[in-house]
Structure 1
């Protein structure tokens, strides 16, 4: 199945568990050196109580499986995670295009400094580094970087 065959749609309450599982698996694979600040149960609860019902959460569905997620909170891109086997297949590109469509005046996001693949991905999509921190403001206490995207005028 190609990325073009994957449906992007708003998440429903019953997607929260599957989206959390994608997040947990992707985080473990993509960020093996970064301590996850919350246990698996807390992450699942966060998806069910906060991300899906309170934020603009989108899922990528291949067949009957959730294989990716995008979470927007206004102009902030809060989460973009893909099942590891879906990385590099164009699905992330589709999610970024969707985020830009939803927030045409601009976006911002945070990622960890050690996450080179994510940083290159966002830079390729026109995001510019705006700030670096020592990580004291995030739950993981991991140095991070903020990126912003503004449309061309």
Structure 2
């Protein structure tokens, strides 16, 4: 099934736990070497009490349930995670189009240096790496990269 059968919509309270579960599955699959800073219960609580209520959070909903989650905070793309079964099916592209529509003045984000698939994805979508760090400023203590995107006028 391609992503055309998936609805992207703003997340509500009832979406917090399914979205957190997408995040957990995605993080585990995409970043096996990265130490998670929080356990499953803490991640679910953060989605329920912080991410969904305070950020502009979007979910991708398929027939079988949540397939992806994206969160924006001002000009920052804070989260973009897909259920591993949905990778490579166009859903990330749909989320990226939505993010750029919502933030036409530009976006910035961080991704881990070990996440080469994410780097290829963001670069394909016009993001440029502007900073690399040793990871001491993130909770995982994992080297990361700052990316920015600006609409070309």
TM-score range, shorter chain: over 0.9
SS in 2 for 1:81: strand
TM-score, scaled relative to structure 1: 0.99
Q: Residue in 2 aligned with 1:48? A: 48
> 1:95 maps to which residue?
95
Q: Under a length normalisation based on structure 2, what TM-score does the superposition of the two structures give?
A: 0.99
Q: In the aligned structure 2, how far is the partner of 1:64 from the partner of 1:16?
A: 16
Aligned match of 2:22: 22
Aligned to 2:9: 9
Please state whether the residue corresponding to 1:134 is helix, strand or coil: coil
Equivalent in the alignment of 1:133: 133
Could you tell me how far apart the structure 1 residues matched to 2:107 and 2:20 are?
A: 23
**3-state DSSP of counterpart to 2:136:** coil
Cα deviations across residues 103-128 of structure 1 (Å, max 9, x unaligned)?
A: 00000000000000000000000000
Structure 1 runs not aligned, ≥5 long: none
> Distance between the aligned counterparts of 1:56 and 1:111, measured in 2?
19
Unaligned runs of 5+ in 2: none
* Structure 2: distance between partners of 1:15 and 1:21: 10
* Residue 31, structure 1, aligned to residue 13, structure 2: no
User: Moved runs in structure 1, 4+ residues, more than 6 A?
Assistant: none
RMSD: 0.6
